[in-house]
Amino acid sequence: MPLLSGKVAVVTASTQGIGLAIARRLALDGAQVVISSRKQANVDRALEELHAEGLTISGIVCHVGKREDREEAWDKTFEVNVKAVFLLTKLVVPHMEQRGRGSIVLVGSIAGYRPFPTIGPYGVSKTALLGLTKVLADELAPANIRVNCLAPGLITQFSSALWSDDSFRRRFEAAITLRRTGEPEDCAGVVSFLCSRDAAYITGETITVAGGFHCRL
Ligand SMILES: NC(=O)c1ccc[n+]([C@@H]2O[C@H](COP(=O)([O-])OP(=O)(O)OC[C@H]3O[C@@H](n4cnc5c(N)ncnc54)[C@H](OP(=O)(O)O)[C@@H]3O)[C@@H](O)[C@H]2O)c1
C-alpha cells in the first residue's frame, strides 16, 4: 500500500520549483494531488509534464493573494506569504475535519530564522510562519490535524535581488555544509514524510532543508 494512499493533497503554488516537486512526490507516494498557481498556461504545462510521467493529477488556477492592486512590497509579501496561508488553511480545515484527520505543511524559509540583505520583509513574513505553524498546530490538534513547516535553504536562485550580488552568493554557498545548493526534490520527500503516518506524532515543528547551513540551534 503506497504511503499516502487514500489521501488528498492540495499543493498551492505548485507549477514549478519546490511546489511542483512536492506535488510529484506526493502523487508518486499514492496521494490524489491537485496542483495550482496563478496562470492557466503554467498549470497546463505542469499537468502535461506530470501526466506524461504517468501521474494522475488535476489542476486549477488559484492566485493565493488575490487582491491585485496592492502596491507596497510589504503588504504584498505579507498578503501572499502569511495571510493567504492562514485563509487557505481555513478553507481546507472543514474538509479535513470531515475526514477525521489531516496534515498541513507550510513552506517557510531559513530566512525566517536569520536575516538576509535586501529581502528583509520576506524574512519577517517567513518568521511569522514559524509562529503560525505553532498556533495552528495547537488549534487544530483536537481535530486530529497536524501542522508542520518546511524551511528550505538555497534551493533555486529565487531572489534575483539577493543572488545578483556575486560576493554574497559566494559567501553563502561557502557556508553550506554539504557544499551544494539544493534541488526541489530535496524538499519534496520531507513533505511526503510529514504527510505520512510515519510522522503521526510530529506537529508544530519546522524542518530545515538547507544542506546544513547554520540558521538555528
Ligand atoms: N527556492 C529557494 O531556494 C527557496 C528557499 C527558501 C524558501 N523558499 C520558499 O519555497 C517556496 C517555493 O519557492 P520556489 O523557489 O520553488 O518558487 P518558484 O520556482 O518561483 O515557483 C513558484 C510557484 O508558485 C506559483 N505562484 C507564485 N505566486 C503565486 C500566487 N500568488 N498564487 C498562487 N501561485 C503562485 C508559480 O506559478 P505562477 O507564476 O503560474 O503563479 C510557481 O508554480 C516559496 O514559499 C519560497 O519562499 C524557496
Write down the domain spans for the chain.
Answer: 1-63, 73-217
Pocket residue to mutate for ligand 1, from 20, 24, 33, 37, most atoms within 8 A of Cβ: 37
**Per-residue confidence (pLDDT) for residue 198, from 0 to 100:** 97
DSSP assigned state of 79: I
Question: Is residue 29 within 8 Å of residue 3, measured between CB atoms?
Answer: yes
Which tens digits make up the pLDDT trace of 153-174?
A: 988 766 666 777 778 778 888 9
Task: Tell me if residue 116 falls in helix, strand or coil.
Answer: coil
Distance CA 25, CA 22 (A): 5
73-217 matches 1-63 in CATH topology: yes
Report the first-to-last Cα separation within the chain, whole angstroms.
37
For residue 152 and ligand 1, the question of a CB distance below 6 A is answered with yes
Beta strand 57-61 pairing with 32-37: parallel
Cα(171) to centroid(ligand 1), Å: 24
Percent of the chain with pLDDT over 90: 76
Known catalytic residue at 122: yes
d(CA 187, CA 210): 9
What element of type H or E holds 59?
strand 57-61
Per-residue b or e along 174-184, where b marks 16 or more CB atoms closer than 10 Å to that residue's CB: ebbeeeebbeb
Contact 67, 92 (CB under 8 A): no
Q: Classify domain 73-217 by CATH number.
A: 3.40.50.720
pLDDT tens-digit readout, 57-91: 999 988 877 655 345 678 889 999 999 999 999 99
CATH architecture of 1-63: 3-Layer(aba) Sandwich (3.40)
Pocket probe mutation, ligand 1, options 14, 18, 33, 114, max atoms within 8 Å of Cβ: 18
